[in-house]
Chain A
Amino acid sequence: MSSITPQEIKAEFLKSKIGITGIAILSILIFTSIIVIVVIPVDTFKEWNNPGNWISYPKVAIPVWINLFLSEKIPEHKILNTPNVNYDVSEDTSITSHQFGVNFDYGDFPNDFIYEFSAKYSETPLLQMDVIRPDGIQLKLLSTSLPYSDSNSIHSERIFSTDNAIRKNLYLQSDKFLFPINNLSAEDIIFSKTENHEPLKGNYIFLIKMYGSNSENQISESRLIIGGKAFGIMGTDELRRDLAVGLLWGTPLALFIGLVVAITSVIMGLLYGVYAGYRGKKTDETMMRFNDVIYALPALPFLIILSVTISNSIFVMIGFLMIFGWVGIAKVARSMALQIKIRGYVEAANMMGQKDSKIVLRHILPQLLPYAFASIAISVPAAITTEAGLSFLGLGDPSFPTWGQILHDANVYGAAARGLWWWIMPPGVMIAITGLAFVFIGNALDAIVNPKLKR
């Protein structure tokens, strides 16, 4: 092994195409991680397992970009937060009206619709809900009085499309349709053509009016959700969670797990191996026997038992992965140290009476650094896939949305059988891309350092 200076390694590395590709992918991943940590609030991922947080999202919705490739578009899930607000206050009545415009040009009916609101009022105002269709027909959906209150209290309510009152109101207007609408759900009637039961494309206006006698009546929060089958860049899963959030948060988590495990186990292995090799004789013998023992432990069964019996916290798991990570590196480091320690300058330092620790740290370890970097890069994917595998078996830390965790959920809810490709593909692709980045870097480094001692 010849000594290579860091400058030479850098120059050689920049010449290697796959090394550059690896660095490029890694930079993108790191950049994504930083953006994720800055932009997506930490609370979102803490809320990952809280179903209440995802209530207004659709179930197993396909990613929206799929519509770019389809002639008959899949209805998108729309969450409308900003209505056009009008106040009309006369002497003894006040009318608050909220208008939502929906551009509907899909080939299928929406799943449902939900109107959520909070209103501040006194006495019993009347809430009326109408829809104006693209063909000019106005359908009355609901006209109901809100519960009585004598002071200005806040009342929150969700009105669902499955509401019986809405259905009854629509049946009363069945003369506008040329086909029987008796057995259809509210959204299938509202968004249908009048002559046959097909979706009518165009702009719909949902009109919500609150009539009251108090001029201070107002709707403070108002939100209309048109339930569709497509949502977000990455779609959603069975528990209505936005997969984009999970996938993005998975990136820093995977990098963290991979890098921490790889760096620590390489350092541990290096120190262990070099010390054993340098001391030689009995110390070497004992240390290598111990190394053999750990090497011969079947890693995966043990990791499984450990995570079941001790803890499945992600930090504990990182510790377990380290226990099995350093062994191979220690073996190689030892044999490299055996060769370096008989070199002239190490013997000279020894004769000059330098301390063992100083010789190891100053003279032997620096020689092994290039090899160390290559092995760090090669160990990262192993750590990431092992963690993903454990999470996939359901033994991971459920409070963190790692990629393996997402795949575990996908498997539990039978995503493959139901054809939910957007739930299976992206997490695996992300694992593979992250692994590839490090394998590329590792291979490029390996080719430069070329440790012939590695058997």
Chain B
Amino acid sequence: MHIHRFEKLWIGLSLFLIAAFISIVMYGFTVLDLTVPGSDRGGGTVDAMNLAETPFATPGVRKTEDGEYEVYMLARQYFFQPGSGQSLTLPAETRVTFKVTSPDVIHGFQVAGTNINSMVIPGQISRFTTVFSDPGEYGILCNEYCGAAHHTMEGLIEVVPPSEFDESNLIEQ
């Protein structure tokens, strides 16, 4: 088999490019603190037809024992709970862990203009942690088709300075 020297060079450069791409991604997920939701990310499964017996029965913001915040959220046809109707208020510069699931069909959870982006699948809990560095309003939208009114499924996160965050609205453990 004859391979032209230009073609050998091209294949070599291609392999270098591929190795560089793989290394960059691996660096992000090993050395840096990048993460995506997944079965080994502390989410776990839940009985989507029996959410009444889980923390998802009272969705909202809770404070954990180590002083961080976690949000139990339902994405459902066709709203986010909390988030739709009344905005979800969160403190800036603070670690917030989301736990999102769906009681009906597959949805998406995306905060517009950020890389906060997760599928929401009935029976699975999407768990991810983020820090909002700047106060302001952030739009939430469902980015997976979920039915006839999919395009109306939206919500709002209001991020306030930590000093202005009102803890009286937290869900009791």
Are both chains from one complex?
A: no
